[in-house]
Chains A and B, each alone.
Chain A
Amino acid sequence: MRYAETGINLEIDLTRGNIEKVATDPRDTELYLGGLGTNTKIMWDRVPPETEPFSPDNLLIFGTGLLCGTPATGCNRTIVSTISPQTELMAFSMMGGFWAPELKYAGYDKIILSGKSPELVYLFVHDDKVEIRDAAHLKGKGAIETAELLKQELNDPKIQVAAIGMAGENRVFYASIEQGRSSASRGGIGAVMGDKGVKAIVVRGTKDINVAPPAEYIELCGEGLDYIKHREGNPIPGVMPILAGLGSPQGMKVHDEKWHTENFMWGNSRERKRDYWNEKIEKEWTETLENARTRLVSCFNCPMECGATISMPGLPTYMMKCFTKLTYTMGAFSDLDFGLRIAQKATEYGVDGFSCPQVMAFALELLENDILTAADFPEMPEDSEGRFFYLLDKIVRREGIGDILADGTHWAAKKIGNGADAYAHNNIKKTEQLPLKLSMLNPVYFLMYATGEKMNITQIEGQFPQAPFATKEEREAFVSDWIQVPDEKFKQILLDWEFRGDNANPYYPTVEMSCDIVDWQETMHYIDDALGQCAGLSSFPLKPPYHIHNYPKFISAGAGIEMDQAKLTQAAKRYRTLVRAVNISRGMRRKDEKPPANHWKKRFPELEEQLLDAYYKLKGWNNDGIPTKESLHELGLDYVSDVFIERGILSDVEDASVENKVEA
């Protein structure tokens, strides 16, 4: 018997219309856990580096986390993996919501899509019944609209639906997959779903998920709930309110947006408005949100209420996650009323709320600077709001200039030429980043930005405070109940960290300390992504209920796999290295690992090189960021080094990188 997982993957070949239920190897669960870990193993095994994102040979994997569907609070994430059209590397965007547990209850751990359907279809999964069905009537429909239509058509409000909107159908490089209150947005996975001709995946399940040993597992879950209660009652003092609690930053609950609006660089990540927030704006925004917000809502089995149902007068109802509240609003330098209206359209179209507003601001900047001309924007309105609505429609339909902008700022700049490159200035690995521009280099953030393969800082950071505490007393109070640290040394690093002087950024935390902090933060995120645990209760906030000391117990008592801290850390390192191996085989190298040139004003090139050198070494990668033969061997990934040697990525005799033949 399999515990926590079902042991069955659904393999769907869309070209031939073939559906198979394939038993998985329990040894893979032990080595790669589930979710992202086992997704990556499948990507490595079956998608060679020559495969293009829109090739029928590209896979689109919907993987549930190992513990999804068990009573572990907040464990509900679907990890979607494919080759991204935007980065041409592996994307592993994720979504919370209700879909992953439902798939588990239907009896499957993953749905693996291959091939391409000649006609637009949707997949129907209800326990043992799995069908590919015609979706011609859903073509062009919104993502939320599609889910509602399917609920009516199938006469079952209990189905869970993951769907794409028009952006996915038209292969917009930052198209999302939407699922009620959640979406998997980064890397253009919605475009791959559209390319495969799949409009939606409907799931409904009524089977059991087993855990063993049950009494221990439920006790762990109970302790988790108690800790959440404790943390909710005791927000962390001395940090800004959005960092004090658990869950996503509570943008749907909290009205005070002074920090985000004034500290981020909005528009095309250009302009910081230092005195933006005032009483009048706060009053207007509060009214707008309170009138629009019908209810705060949660994902499956989680009390956190990070989302909200939003009904703007005259528009269909939708649900919003926290940060989209600001990205359109501030991208257009407008107000929240506009932000909530355009987000309704954007959600139905299914686009990434980080990238899309920035692409639109980028286009307008090119117009202002005469790189694009008025002729590129026929009949575009004069006002900022009207222009954003206009551009959104052009992009999702790939009409006119929208066809170029639909590929994101990196590829659009290349096509436009004429100096447009300089305006695609906020990318890492071809992906638009949070609109932040800061002063002094932060060594920890430098490493996370440079080496992250999740393309999103919020999916890498967490655990270690973003800034030092002002006083000794505050520091001591913070470390006094910091049970989440994997090693006591992290407490000392924090105790000694100052705003100014020798123990301040950029030289403190030291290179070695920075590497350890980043490694810890990244490890926790990768564990979450294999277990299906939302980062909002784990790797993202300070002092979360899930950490390196109780996770091994959850896995032992949930999945029945013997686990301890060392074995879990090693497993996370294994599939984290495998993600890198996939990307290395697709040409990613050290040269790609850099934050935007203007991310910090004060840069330290020598220090930055030292940081990368040391971090690569800690991770077992050579100086070009390629995992070494020795470290691959230690992780049981000899099959990777065999391929690397065969392809000339690693040399047989030494670990220095040799000229890479497959490099793009």
Chain B
Amino acid sequence: MTTNKKIKTIKSIKIDIDKCNGCRACEVICSAFHAMPKYSSNNPARSRIRVTREPIRDVYVPVYAGDYVVAECAGRDKYIIDGKEYDECTFCRASCPSRDLFKEPDSGLPLKCDMCEGEDEPLCVKWCMVDALTYEEREEEIIEEEVTPGEVETGLEALVNKHGIDKVADIVAQISKSKG
């Protein structure tokens, strides 16, 4: 295994749920920015940030759309924080079969936060005037691991053991074809 040192900019949004007032301005501007044409419509159901808002229980959790996953989690845990119970899904960024969150309401296609590519900062942050959302960029020195052929082999062997050589070969062939 060889390693390579690189400087990478990490974009992050700091979410302070104690400051969230539940107004959902973030959902409004996100869905407007990502409308086609830009700003021509808005619809929180299309937003890539959604606020779980249960005022009577004092639950306020803005969460961003992450990756699409094909399957829902097998088990779902619960967290108790400051005496308030949260379903694990409340914090989860996945566009997942278990819920309608982070999917286009018409097509069901998954949505994912892109940090408002092209803007100075994500617009949800700009529109959050109570500072529940703040934007941070930090540079990190990261060690990129170069994957050696030996590691690939180990991985493949595990798959072959599990699924059989024919199945793995088929899939590899299919992937090669689609990438070709």
Contacts and interface: CB of A to CB of B under 8 A. Distances in A.
Interface of A: 69-71, 73, 98, 105, 144, 148, 157, 180-181, 205-212, 214-215, 217-218, 225, 228-229, 294-303, 305, 309, 316-319
A144 B56 contact: yes
A317 B56 CA distance: 6
B32 A71 contact: yes
Contact of B43 (A209, A214, A298, A299): A209
A305 B21 contact: yes
A71 B42 contact: yes
Contact of B52 (A73, A157, A181): A157
Contact of B21 (A211, A215, A295): A295
A208 B35 contact: yes
Nearest to A294: B58
A157 B38 CA distance: 29
B39 A214 contact: yes
Listed residue (B25, B52, B105, B127) with the most chain A CB atoms within 10 angstroms of its CB: B25
Nearest to A105: B43
B21 A296 contact: yes
Interface string B33-52: 00101111111111000001
A300 B53 contact: no
Chain B interface size band reads: 20 to 34
Given A70-B42, A208-B41, 10 more contacts: A208-B46, A209-B42, A209-B43, A214-B39, A225-B127, A225-B129, A229-B129, A300-B24, A303-B23, A309-B55
Contacts of A214: 32, 35, 37-41
B21 A303 contact: yes
A211 B41 contact: yes
Contacts of B24: 98, 300-301
B42 A208 contact: yes
A71 B29 contact: yes
A230 B21 CA distance: 20
B154 to A, nearest CB: 45
Contact of A303 (B53, B60, B130): B130
A297 B45 contact: no
- Please provide the 5 A-B residue pairs with the shortest distance between their CB atoms, ordered closest to farther: A206-B45, A303-B129, A214-B39, A208-B41, A298-B23
Given A105-B45, A309-B55, A300 B23 contact: yes
A208 B129 contact: no
A157 B39 contact: no
A319 B55 contact: yes
Contacts of B127: 225
B141 interface: no
B124 to A, nearest CB: 12
A305 B130 contact: yes
A207 B58 contact: no
Given A298-B21, A302-B25, A105 B44 contact: yes
12 contacts: A157-B54, A206-B105, A207-B45, A211-B41, A214-B35, A214-B41, A300-B24, A301-B25, A302-B25, A303-B21, A303-B130, A305-B130
Contacts of A298: 21-23, 130
Contacts of A69: 42
Contacts of B25: 73, 301-303
A296 B22 CA distance: 10
A181 B130 CA distance: 18
B43 A206 contact: yes
Nearest to A216: B39
A423 to B, nearest CB: 38
Contacts of B35: 208, 214
Contacts of A319: 55
B110 to A, nearest CB: 15
B33 to A, nearest CB: 8
B28 interface: yes
Contacts of A299: 23
Contacts of B44: 105
A55 to B, nearest CB: 36
A321 to B, nearest CB: 13
A440 B104 CA distance: 61
A435 B65 CA distance: 50
A302 B128 CA distance: 9
A210 to B, nearest CB: 5
A163 to B, nearest CB: 13
B8 to A, nearest CB: 31
